[in-house]
Protein backbone atom coordinates (compact mmCIF):
# COMPACT_ATOMS: atom_id res chain seq x y z
CA UNK A 1 0.00 0.00 0.00
CA UNK A 2 1.39 3.42 -0.96
CA UNK A 3 2.03 6.20 1.52
CA UNK A 4 -0.68 8.26 -0.19
CA UNK A 5 -3.22 5.49 0.35
CA UNK A 6 -2.27 5.20 4.02
CA UNK A 7 -2.07 8.88 4.97
CA UNK A 8 -3.87 10.74 2.20
CA UNK A 9 -2.44 13.67 0.24
CA UNK A 10 -0.01 16.07 1.89
CA UNK A 11 -1.45 19.50 2.67
CA UNK A 12 0.52 22.66 3.45
CA UNK A 13 -1.57 24.37 6.10
CA UNK A 14 -1.61 28.13 6.53
CA UNK A 15 -0.76 29.64 9.90
CA UNK A 16 -3.06 32.09 11.60
CA UNK A 17 -1.67 35.66 11.66
CA UNK A 18 -1.14 35.35 15.41
CA UNK A 19 0.78 32.09 15.02
CA UNK A 20 2.95 33.49 12.23
CA UNK A 21 3.79 36.63 14.17
CA UNK A 22 4.61 34.56 17.27
CA UNK A 23 6.95 32.27 15.30
CA UNK A 24 8.83 35.20 13.76
CA UNK A 25 9.08 36.99 17.10
CA UNK A 26 10.38 33.85 18.82
CA UNK A 27 13.00 33.39 16.08
CA UNK A 28 14.17 37.00 16.52
CA UNK A 29 14.44 36.50 20.26
CA UNK A 30 16.26 33.18 19.99
CA UNK A 31 18.75 34.33 17.36
CA UNK A 32 19.53 37.89 18.36
CA UNK A 33 18.29 38.09 21.95
CA UNK A 34 16.06 41.10 21.25
CA UNK A 35 12.33 41.75 21.27
CA UNK A 36 10.46 42.93 18.21
CA UNK A 37 9.00 46.39 17.84
CA UNK A 38 6.84 45.42 14.85
CA UNK A 39 5.64 42.36 12.93
CA UNK A 40 4.36 42.24 9.37
CA UNK A 41 3.38 39.58 6.87
CA UNK A 42 3.29 39.20 3.10
CA UNK A 43 1.18 36.48 1.41
CA UNK A 44 1.91 34.46 -1.68
CA UNK A 45 0.44 35.14 -5.12
CA UNK A 46 -1.76 32.90 -7.25
CA UNK A 47 -2.77 34.10 -10.69
CA UNK A 48 -6.33 33.21 -11.66
CA UNK A 49 -5.61 34.25 -15.25
CA UNK A 50 -3.06 36.51 -16.93
CA UNK A 51 0.40 34.93 -16.80
CA UNK A 52 3.45 36.57 -18.43
CA UNK A 53 1.47 39.65 -19.48
CA UNK A 54 2.86 42.17 -16.99
CA UNK A 55 6.07 43.08 -18.79
CA UNK A 56 4.08 43.64 -21.99
CA UNK A 57 1.82 46.17 -20.19
CA UNK A 58 -1.08 43.70 -20.26
CA UNK A 59 -3.80 42.67 -17.82
CA UNK A 60 -3.83 40.06 -15.05
CA UNK A 61 -6.27 38.79 -12.44
CA UNK A 62 -4.32 37.46 -9.43
CA UNK A 63 -5.24 36.76 -5.82
CA UNK A 64 -3.28 36.01 -2.64
CA UNK A 65 -2.78 32.88 -0.57
CA UNK A 66 -3.61 32.50 3.13
CA UNK A 67 -0.04 31.20 3.39
CA UNK A 68 2.42 33.99 4.12
CA UNK A 69 5.91 35.03 5.13
CA UNK A 70 6.00 36.67 8.55
CA UNK A 71 8.72 39.00 9.76
CA UNK A 72 9.52 40.36 13.19
CA UNK A 73 11.84 43.34 13.32
CA UNK A 74 13.62 45.74 15.60
CA UNK A 75 15.46 48.97 14.63
CA UNK A 76 19.11 49.42 15.45
CA UNK A 77 21.10 52.52 16.32
CA UNK A 78 23.72 51.83 13.63
CA UNK A 79 23.68 50.87 9.93
CA UNK A 80 23.94 47.14 10.61
CA UNK A 81 21.42 44.72 9.06
CA UNK A 82 21.01 41.22 10.54
CA UNK A 83 18.57 38.68 9.13
CA UNK A 84 17.59 35.12 9.97
CA UNK A 85 15.08 32.73 8.38
CA UNK A 86 13.46 29.51 9.52
CA UNK A 87 13.63 28.05 5.99
CA UNK A 88 17.20 26.85 6.42
CA UNK A 89 18.45 24.82 3.46
CA UNK A 90 15.21 25.38 1.51
CA UNK A 91 16.49 28.74 0.29
CA UNK A 92 19.57 29.52 -1.74
CA UNK A 93 22.34 31.52 -0.16
CA UNK A 94 24.79 31.64 2.71
CA UNK A 95 22.54 29.72 5.10
CA UNK A 96 19.76 30.83 7.43
CA UNK A 97 21.70 33.75 8.99
CA UNK A 98 23.29 36.79 7.35
CA UNK A 99 24.82 40.03 8.60
CA UNK A 100 25.75 43.12 6.62
CA UNK A 101 25.05 46.84 6.51
CA UNK A 102 23.02 49.38 4.57
CA UNK A 103 26.04 50.77 2.74
CA UNK A 104 26.80 47.45 1.02
CA UNK A 105 25.92 46.86 -2.62
CA UNK A 106 23.34 44.09 -3.11
CA UNK A 107 25.75 42.54 -5.63
CA UNK A 108 28.07 41.75 -2.72
CA UNK A 109 25.45 39.35 -1.32
CA UNK A 110 24.47 35.90 -2.61
CA UNK A 111 21.14 34.13 -2.31
CA UNK A 112 18.04 35.12 -0.37
CA UNK A 113 19.61 37.96 1.70
CA UNK A 114 20.12 39.87 -1.56
CA UNK A 115 16.34 40.37 -1.67
CA UNK A 116 16.37 42.00 1.77
CA UNK A 117 19.36 44.23 1.11
CA UNK A 118 18.15 44.90 -2.45
CA UNK A 119 14.83 46.24 -1.19
CA UNK A 120 16.52 48.52 1.35
CA UNK A 121 18.87 49.68 -1.43
CA UNK A 122 15.90 50.38 -3.73
CA UNK A 123 14.23 52.53 -1.07
CA UNK A 124 17.45 54.47 -0.57
CA UNK A 125 17.66 55.02 -4.32
CA UNK A 126 14.18 56.57 -4.08
CA UNK A 127 15.38 59.01 -1.44
CA UNK A 128 14.32 57.12 1.69
CA UNK A 129 16.72 56.13 4.44
CA UNK A 130 16.97 55.11 8.06
CA UNK A 131 18.87 53.05 10.57
CA UNK A 132 19.78 49.40 10.36
CA UNK A 133 17.54 46.64 11.64
CA UNK A 134 17.33 43.09 12.90
CA UNK A 135 14.81 40.89 11.06
CA UNK A 136 13.55 37.35 11.52
CA UNK A 137 11.51 35.64 8.77
CA UNK A 138 9.20 32.70 9.43
CA UNK A 139 7.25 31.19 6.56
CA UNK A 140 4.46 28.73 5.82
CA UNK A 141 4.62 29.72 2.13
CA UNK A 142 6.54 27.07 0.14
CA UNK A 143 9.61 28.54 -1.56
CA UNK A 144 10.30 28.00 -5.26
CA UNK A 145 6.75 26.82 -5.93
CA UNK A 146 5.63 29.54 -8.34
CA UNK A 147 3.74 31.39 -5.61
CA UNK A 148 5.83 34.54 -5.48
CA UNK A 149 7.81 33.67 -2.35
CA UNK A 150 10.80 35.82 -3.35
CA UNK A 151 8.50 38.79 -3.92
CA UNK A 152 6.93 38.08 -0.53
CA UNK A 153 10.35 38.50 1.12
CA UNK A 154 10.71 41.83 -0.68
CA UNK A 155 7.20 42.93 0.31
CA UNK A 156 7.62 41.93 3.95
CA UNK A 157 10.91 43.85 4.10
CA UNK A 158 9.25 46.87 2.48
CA UNK A 159 6.51 46.89 5.09
CA UNK A 160 9.06 46.71 7.90
CA UNK A 161 11.13 49.55 6.39
CA UNK A 162 7.98 51.64 5.95
CA UNK A 163 7.26 51.16 9.65
CA UNK A 164 10.76 51.46 11.15
CA UNK A 165 11.90 54.29 8.86
CA UNK A 166 8.53 56.09 9.26
CA UNK A 167 8.07 56.50 5.51
CA UNK A 168 4.31 57.09 5.78
CA UNK A 169 3.62 55.13 2.58
CA UNK A 170 0.09 54.14 3.56
CA UNK A 171 -3.09 53.38 1.64
CA UNK A 172 -3.20 51.93 -1.85
CA UNK A 173 -1.05 54.72 -3.31
CA UNK A 174 1.68 54.09 -0.76
CA UNK A 175 1.47 50.34 -1.25
CA UNK A 176 1.84 50.88 -5.01
CA UNK A 177 5.06 52.84 -4.42
CA UNK A 178 6.39 50.09 -2.16
CA UNK A 179 5.50 47.56 -4.87
CA UNK A 180 7.47 49.54 -7.45
CA UNK A 181 10.43 49.61 -5.05
CA UNK A 182 10.15 45.81 -4.81
CA UNK A 183 10.21 45.60 -8.60
CA UNK A 184 13.32 47.80 -8.72
CA UNK A 185 14.98 45.52 -6.18
CA UNK A 186 14.18 42.36 -8.13
CA UNK A 187 15.12 43.76 -11.53
CA UNK A 188 18.13 45.95 -10.64
CA UNK A 189 19.55 44.34 -7.50
CA UNK A 190 18.67 40.67 -7.97
CA UNK A 191 18.65 40.78 -11.78
CA UNK A 192 15.56 38.68 -12.52
CA UNK A 193 14.00 41.17 -14.98
CA UNK A 194 10.50 39.99 -14.05
CA UNK A 195 7.29 41.98 -14.31
CA UNK A 196 5.23 43.86 -11.73
CA UNK A 197 2.60 41.16 -11.11
CA UNK A 198 3.91 39.72 -7.85
CA UNK A 199 4.68 42.81 -5.75
CA UNK A 200 1.53 44.67 -6.74
CA UNK A 201 -0.60 41.63 -5.93
CA UNK A 202 1.10 40.84 -2.63
CA UNK A 203 1.08 44.41 -1.33
CA UNK A 204 -2.30 45.58 -2.67
CA UNK A 205 -4.67 42.58 -2.71
CA UNK A 206 -6.84 42.03 0.35
CA UNK A 207 -8.22 38.78 1.77
CA UNK A 208 -11.15 37.23 -0.12
CA UNK A 209 -10.57 39.31 -3.25
CA UNK A 210 -8.78 39.28 -6.58
CA UNK A 211 -7.22 42.27 -8.34
CA UNK A 212 -7.61 43.30 -11.95
CA UNK A 213 -4.16 44.75 -12.58
CA UNK A 214 -3.56 46.96 -15.61
CA UNK A 215 0.16 47.27 -16.26
CA UNK A 216 -0.32 49.86 -19.02
CA UNK A 217 -1.16 52.36 -16.29
CA UNK A 218 1.68 54.06 -14.44
CA UNK A 219 1.51 53.44 -11.57
CA UNK A 220 -0.17 50.09 -12.13
CA UNK A 221 -3.90 50.35 -11.48
CA UNK A 222 -5.62 47.74 -9.29
CA UNK A 223 -9.38 47.15 -9.25
CA UNK A 224 -10.54 44.73 -6.53
CA UNK A 225 -13.06 41.97 -7.29
CA UNK A 226 -14.71 39.73 -4.70
CA UNK A 227 -13.59 36.09 -4.95
CA UNK A 228 -16.97 34.90 -6.19
CA UNK A 229 -15.66 31.34 -6.46
CA UNK A 230 -16.20 30.80 -2.76
CA UNK A 231 -19.83 31.94 -2.93
CA UNK A 232 -20.53 29.07 -5.32
CA UNK A 233 -18.62 26.32 -3.52
CA UNK A 234 -15.47 26.62 -5.62
CA UNK A 235 -11.84 27.38 -4.80
CA UNK A 236 -8.29 27.21 -6.06
CA UNK A 237 -6.32 24.01 -5.47
CA UNK A 238 -2.59 24.67 -5.72
CA UNK A 239 -0.55 21.61 -6.69
CA UNK A 240 3.06 22.08 -5.62
CA UNK A 241 4.83 19.49 -7.76
CA UNK A 242 8.05 20.01 -5.77
CA UNK A 243 9.84 19.89 -9.12
CA UNK A 244 12.86 22.21 -8.89
CA UNK A 245 12.34 25.21 -11.11
CA UNK A 246 14.58 25.75 -14.10
CA UNK A 247 16.45 28.93 -14.98
CA UNK A 248 13.60 31.37 -14.45
CA UNK A 249 15.90 34.39 -14.75
CA UNK A 250 16.92 33.30 -18.25
CA UNK A 251 13.27 32.66 -19.09
CA UNK A 252 12.33 36.22 -18.12
CA UNK A 253 15.23 37.75 -20.01
CA UNK A 254 14.53 35.79 -23.17
CA UNK A 255 10.76 36.23 -23.18
CA UNK A 256 10.94 39.92 -22.38
CA UNK A 257 13.24 40.45 -25.37
CA UNK A 258 11.07 38.29 -27.63
CA UNK A 259 7.88 40.14 -26.66
CA UNK A 260 9.54 43.49 -27.35
CA UNK A 261 10.76 42.22 -30.72
CA UNK A 262 7.29 40.89 -31.59
CA UNK A 263 5.72 44.26 -30.80
CA UNK A 264 8.36 46.03 -32.88
CA UNK A 265 7.68 43.68 -35.79
CA UNK A 266 4.09 44.94 -35.74
CA UNK A 267 5.08 48.58 -35.46
CA UNK A 268 3.92 48.86 -31.84
CA UNK A 269 5.62 49.78 -28.61
CA UNK A 270 4.14 46.90 -26.59
CA UNK A 271 2.02 43.82 -27.21
CA UNK A 272 -0.73 45.48 -25.15
CA UNK A 273 -1.07 48.02 -27.97
CA UNK A 274 -1.45 45.11 -30.38
CA UNK A 275 -4.05 43.37 -28.18
CA UNK A 276 -6.15 46.54 -27.91
CA UNK A 277 -6.11 47.27 -31.65
CA UNK A 278 -8.65 45.86 -34.15
CA UNK A 279 -7.91 42.48 -35.73
CA UNK A 280 -5.21 41.70 -33.18
CA UNK A 281 -5.18 37.96 -33.81
CA UNK A 282 -4.89 38.43 -37.58
CA UNK A 283 -2.04 40.89 -37.15
CA UNK A 284 -0.17 38.52 -34.86
CA UNK A 285 -0.45 35.70 -37.40
CA UNK A 286 1.28 37.97 -39.89
CA UNK A 287 4.55 38.03 -37.90
CA UNK A 288 7.13 36.29 -40.07
CA UNK A 289 9.35 34.89 -37.29
CA UNK A 290 7.55 31.79 -35.92
CA UNK A 291 8.99 32.16 -32.40
CA UNK A 292 7.98 35.80 -32.10
CA UNK A 293 4.57 34.92 -33.54
CA UNK A 294 3.99 32.33 -30.83
CA UNK A 295 5.07 34.69 -28.04
CA UNK A 296 2.77 37.44 -29.31
CA UNK A 297 -0.08 34.97 -29.73
CA UNK A 298 0.14 33.96 -26.08
CA UNK A 299 0.29 37.50 -24.67
CA UNK A 300 -2.49 38.98 -26.80
CA UNK A 301 -4.79 35.97 -26.31
CA UNK A 302 -4.04 35.91 -22.56
CA UNK A 303 -5.11 39.55 -22.25
CA UNK A 304 -8.41 38.63 -23.89
CA UNK A 305 -8.79 35.66 -21.52
CA UNK A 306 -8.40 38.03 -18.57
CA UNK A 307 -11.22 40.17 -19.92
CA UNK A 308 -13.38 37.10 -20.47
CA UNK A 309 -12.88 35.82 -16.92
CA UNK A 310 -13.57 39.24 -15.38
CA UNK A 311 -16.77 39.54 -17.41
CA UNK A 312 -17.89 36.04 -16.41
CA UNK A 313 -17.16 36.69 -12.73
CA UNK A 314 -19.35 39.75 -12.78
CA UNK A 315 -21.95 38.28 -15.13
CA UNK A 316 -25.61 37.58 -14.44
CA UNK A 317 -26.01 34.35 -16.40
CA UNK A 318 -26.37 30.89 -14.84
CA UNK A 319 -23.46 30.31 -12.45
CA UNK A 320 -22.64 26.86 -13.83
CA UNK A 321 -22.24 28.18 -17.36
CA UNK A 322 -20.11 31.11 -16.21
CA UNK A 323 -17.70 28.98 -14.20
CA UNK A 324 -17.44 26.36 -16.94
CA UNK A 325 -16.45 29.18 -19.31
CA UNK A 326 -13.86 30.40 -16.78
CA UNK A 327 -12.48 26.88 -16.43
CA UNK A 328 -12.13 26.52 -20.20
CA UNK A 329 -10.25 29.82 -20.34
CA UNK A 330 -7.87 28.54 -17.64
CA UNK A 331 -7.20 25.33 -19.60
CA UNK A 332 -6.61 27.38 -22.76
CA UNK A 333 -4.20 29.53 -20.80
CA UNK A 334 -2.14 26.48 -19.92
CA UNK A 335 -2.12 25.23 -23.50
CA UNK A 336 -0.88 28.65 -24.58
CA UNK A 337 1.81 28.71 -21.89
CA UNK A 338 2.89 25.22 -22.91
CA UNK A 339 2.90 25.55 -26.69
CA UNK A 340 3.23 29.24 -27.55
CA UNK A 341 5.20 30.55 -24.58
CA UNK A 342 7.12 27.35 -23.80
CA UNK A 343 6.99 28.05 -20.05
CA UNK A 344 5.72 24.64 -18.94
CA UNK A 345 7.46 21.28 -18.56
CA UNK A 346 6.37 17.61 -18.53
CA UNK A 347 5.78 17.59 -14.76
CA UNK A 348 3.51 20.63 -14.90
CA UNK A 349 1.70 19.22 -17.94
CA UNK A 350 1.15 15.98 -16.04
CA UNK A 351 -0.29 17.89 -13.07
CA UNK A 352 -2.72 19.72 -15.34
CA UNK A 353 -3.79 16.46 -16.96
CA UNK A 354 -4.21 14.82 -13.55
CA UNK A 355 -6.33 17.76 -12.37
CA UNK A 356 -8.51 17.42 -15.47
CA UNK A 357 -9.04 13.71 -14.81
CA UNK A 358 -9.88 14.53 -11.17
CA UNK A 359 -12.71 16.81 -12.29
CA UNK A 360 -11.14 20.28 -12.15
CA UNK A 361 -13.00 22.93 -14.10
CA UNK A 362 -9.66 24.41 -15.17
CA UNK A 363 -5.94 24.06 -14.43
CA UNK A 364 -2.70 25.66 -15.56
CA UNK A 365 0.85 26.67 -14.68
CA UNK A 366 1.13 28.98 -11.69
CA UNK A 367 3.79 31.67 -11.92
CA UNK A 368 6.73 31.81 -14.27
CA UNK A 369 6.75 28.07 -15.02
CA UNK A 370 9.71 25.74 -15.62
CA UNK A 371 8.66 23.73 -12.57
CA UNK A 372 6.86 24.80 -9.43
CA UNK A 373 3.10 24.60 -9.12
CA UNK A 374 -0.17 24.24 -10.97
CA UNK A 375 -3.38 26.00 -9.92
CA UNK A 376 -6.73 24.28 -10.50
CA UNK A 377 -10.30 25.56 -10.16
CA UNK A 378 -12.21 22.84 -8.29
CA UNK A 379 -15.35 22.35 -6.25
CA UNK A 380 -14.55 22.67 -2.55
CA UNK A 381 -16.48 19.52 -1.70
CA UNK A 382 -14.27 17.55 -4.12
CA UNK A 383 -10.93 19.18 -3.28
CA UNK A 384 -9.56 16.43 -1.02
CA UNK A 385 -10.65 13.66 -3.37
CA UNK A 386 -9.15 15.54 -6.32
CA UNK A 387 -5.88 15.95 -4.41
CA UNK A 388 -5.88 12.22 -3.62
CA UNK A 389 -6.35 11.29 -7.30
CA UNK A 390 -3.61 13.69 -8.39
CA UNK A 391 -1.18 12.42 -5.73
CA UNK A 392 -1.86 8.82 -6.76
CA UNK A 393 -1.18 9.72 -10.38
CA UNK A 394 2.24 11.13 -9.50
CA UNK A 395 3.21 8.22 -7.26
CA UNK A 396 2.03 5.63 -9.81
CA UNK A 397 4.21 7.35 -12.41
CA UNK A 398 7.24 6.98 -10.12
CA UNK A 399 7.39 10.69 -9.36
CA UNK A 400 7.68 12.60 -6.12
CA UNK A 401 4.36 13.09 -4.34
CA UNK A 402 3.08 16.67 -4.73
CA UNK A 403 1.88 18.89 -1.91
CA UNK A 404 -1.38 20.82 -1.90
CA UNK A 405 -2.55 24.25 -0.77
CA UNK A 406 -6.13 25.50 -0.65
CA UNK A 407 -6.87 29.10 -1.59
Catalytic residue numbers read 198
Encode 153-168: b = buried (16+ Cβ within 10 Å), e = exposed: bbbbbbbbbbbbbebe
Which residues make beta-bridge pairs with 59?
214
- Burial class from Cβ neighbours inside 10 Å (0-12, 13-18, 19+) for residue 300 reads buried
200 prior amide bond cis, ω within 30: no
Q: Could you count the other beta carbons within 10 Å of the beta carbon of residue 363?
A: 29
The DSSP result for 254-266, as a single string, is: HHHHHHHHHHHHT
Going from the C-alpha of 203 to that of each of 2, 132, 172, 304, 322, the distances in angstroms are 41, 23, 9, 25, 29
Q: Residue 294: which of 327, 271, 268, 326 has the closest Cα? A: 271
Amino acid sequence: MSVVAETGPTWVEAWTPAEGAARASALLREQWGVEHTCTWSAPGRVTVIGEHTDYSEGLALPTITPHAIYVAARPREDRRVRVVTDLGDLVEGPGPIWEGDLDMSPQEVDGWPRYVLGLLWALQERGFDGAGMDLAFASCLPPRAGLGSSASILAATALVANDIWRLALGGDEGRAELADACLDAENLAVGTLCGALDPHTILRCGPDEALLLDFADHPTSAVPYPMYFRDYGLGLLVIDTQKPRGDVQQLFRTRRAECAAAAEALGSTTLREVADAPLAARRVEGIMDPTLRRRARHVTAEIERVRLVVNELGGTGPAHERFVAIGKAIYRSHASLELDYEASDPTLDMAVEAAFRAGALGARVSGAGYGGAVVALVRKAQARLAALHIAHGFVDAGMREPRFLWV
